[in-house]
Amino acid sequence: MSNQALFVLGGTGERGVCCPGLLTAPLDEGQAVELAKVFKALGDPVRLRLLSMIASRAGGEICVCDLTPAFDLSQPTISHHLKLLRQAGLIDCERRGTWVYYWLLPDMTDRLAGILTRPVGGPVPAPAEAPS
């Protein structure tokens, strides 16, 4: 299956090094639109559980037949959630015979982690003191 990942975030993919940094400078509108798609994909409990099951699987991949039984949801619903994770660039998959196998695309989670990491020496937000 084709990888529909959104390569939205630029940068080198190195861990902890990512641009644009959400915490370092104001995002422009285009960056925000693309990044919001990825966070929106994560903004659902079923998709988070699916992603955690895929990412933590020993061996690095998991059959959809091992994902579905964990949910009280139909196969098409699970497949829809998996499609949204795939379109966000968080996972990829491959059909082999009857089943589809999924794996994490760690570049994207690395980039999100980098985006959410505070810059060294950057602004240090702190609760403000009310003026007297």
Binding footprint of a copy of itself on the chain (CB under 8 A): 15, 20, 22-27, 29, 32-33, 35-37, 39-49, 51-61, 70, 92, 94, 96, 101, 103-106, 109-110, 112-114, 116-118, 122-128, 130-131
Of 25 and 75, CB closest to a copy of itself: 25
Q: Are 44 and 79 in contact (CB under 8 A)?
A: no
Q: Are 47 and 84 in contact (CB under 8 A)?
A: yes
Of 41 and 78, CB closest to a copy of itself: 41
What residues form DSSP beta bridges with 94?
Answer: 101
Minimum distance of a copy of itself from residue 12's CB (angstroms): 16
Backbone angles phi, psi at 94, to 5 degrees: -150, 135
Minimum distance of a copy of itself from residue 65's CB (angstroms): 15
Minimum distance of a copy of itself from residue 17's CB (angstroms): 13
Of 37 and 83, CB closest to a copy of itself: 37
d(CA 78, CA 114): 29
Of 65 and 113, CB closest to a copy of itself: 113
Q: Annotate 19-73 with DSSP letters as a single string.
A: SS-TTTSPPPHHHHHHHHHHHHHHSSHHHHHHHHHHHT-TTS-EEHHHHGGGSSS
